């Protein structure tokens, strides 16, 4: 398989355009009202509200950033982090949707301060893409992986290993966007999708994979090496 690819050009996800536009207008109106309501008495309320508005808007802009990242290394038998965030689960589990056997699950939780773009953790061919409606439990709860709204993507690597990626909506997240399409080639460095407002990404790896991250470790999507897969 040749490298690259379909690197997205926009630096802000299209998913966030409406939110950013509405947020800007609302914050602008609030600041104008505070200014005209208090400028004859004291400018302190305006300065406070303006400062808070800038911080809030900066957080939302960061949330919807679409960073272009290139993995500088060998991608054969390597699984990289599918998202920015923190490793909250590393355990052997039963995966009953596709594999129906035991797998090592590595889960990355994305807080509201993280970029919410998702990347392909491995290179290969997309074998399955399926969206499931569900609940909106807090994303860090174990039951979120099987009961929450989620999208499942299965990738077969050139070495014949199959890796399952699951985008999981959280208590706030109400929109999962998946770019992956069945039977297409996918590559590290490409965006797999996007989850709007706080969530997690689970990656199910073969049992003989060498896990290279630890619980609580911060990850950088498409940069942190999560595991080394066995294979030729």
Q: What is the pLDDT of residue 12?
A: 64
**Distance from C-alpha of 123 to C-alpha of 137, rounded to nearest angstrom:** 31
Contacts of 196 (CB under 8 A, 6+ apart): 15, 16, 116, 173, 174, 175, 176, 177
Going by C-alpha positions, the residue among 84, 137, 136, 135 that lies closest to residue 112 is: 84
**Distance from C-alpha of 167 to C-alpha of 82, rounded to nearest angstrom:** 10
Helix ranges restricted to H, 39-153: 44-63, 144-147
Respond yes or no on whether the N-terminal peptide bond of residue 32 is cis (omega within 30° of 0).
no
Please state which of the four CATH numbers 3.30.930.10, 3.30.2320.50, 3.30.360.10, 2.70.70.10 is assigned to the domain occupying 78-228. Answer: 2.70.70.10
For the chain, the structural domain boundaries read 78-228
Cβ-based neighbour number of residue 178 at 10 Å = 18
Q: What is the pLDDT of residue 2?
A: 47
Q: What is the pLDDT of residue 4?
A: 46
Q: What is the pTM of this model?
A: 0.79
Q: In this structure, what token pair is assigned to residue 34?
A: 């505070």
Beta 218-219 vs 85-95: how paired, if at all?
antiparallel
Tell me 199's DSSP state: E
Q: What is the pLDDT of residue 140?
A: 66
Residues assigned a catalytic role: 199
Q: What is the pLDDT of residue 184?
A: 95
pLDDT in tens, the chain (232 residues): 444 455 555 566 666 677 778 888 999 999 999 988 888 888 898 899 999 999 888 877 776 777 788 899 999 999 999 999 999 999 999 999 999 999 999 999 988 778 888 999 999 999 999 998 877 777 667 777 778 888 999 999 999 999 999 999 876 655 788 989 999 999 999 989 888 766 889 999 999 999 999 999 999 999 999 999 987 6
**Distance from C-alpha of 210 to C-alpha of 22, rounded to nearest angstrom:** 45
**Distance from C-alpha of 177 to C-alpha of 191, rounded to nearest angstrom:** 11
Q: What is the pLDDT of residue 106?
A: 97
């Amino acid at each position: 398989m040749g490298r690259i690819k379909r690197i997205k050009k926009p630096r802000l996800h299209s998913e966030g355009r409406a939110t950013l536009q509405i947020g800007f207008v609302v914050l602008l109106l609030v600041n104008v009202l505070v200014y005209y309501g208090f400028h004859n008495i004291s400018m302190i309320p305006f300065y406070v509200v303006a400062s808070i508005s800038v911080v809030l808007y900066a957080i939302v802009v960061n949330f919807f950033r679409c960073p272009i990242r290139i993995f500088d290394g060998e991608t054969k038998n390597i699984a990289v982090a599918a998202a920015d965030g923190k490793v909250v689960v590393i355990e052997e589990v039963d995966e009953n949707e596709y594999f129906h056997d035991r797998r090592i699950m590595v889960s990355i939780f994305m807080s509201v301060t993280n970029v919410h773009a998702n990347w392909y953790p491995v290179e290969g061919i997309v074998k399955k893409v399926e969206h499931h409606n569900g609940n909106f439990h807090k994303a860090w709860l174990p039951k979120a992986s099987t009961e929450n709204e989620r999208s499942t993507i299965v990738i077969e690597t050139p070495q014949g290993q199959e890796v399952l990626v699951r985008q999981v909506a959280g208590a706030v997240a109400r929109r999962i966007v998946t770019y992956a399409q069945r039977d297409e080639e996918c590559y590290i460095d490409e965006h797999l999708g996007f989850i709007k407002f706080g969530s997690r990404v689970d990656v199910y790896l073969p049992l003989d994979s060498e896990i290279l991250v630890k619980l609580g470790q911060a990850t950088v999507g498409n940069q942190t090496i999560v595991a080394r897969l066995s294979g030729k």
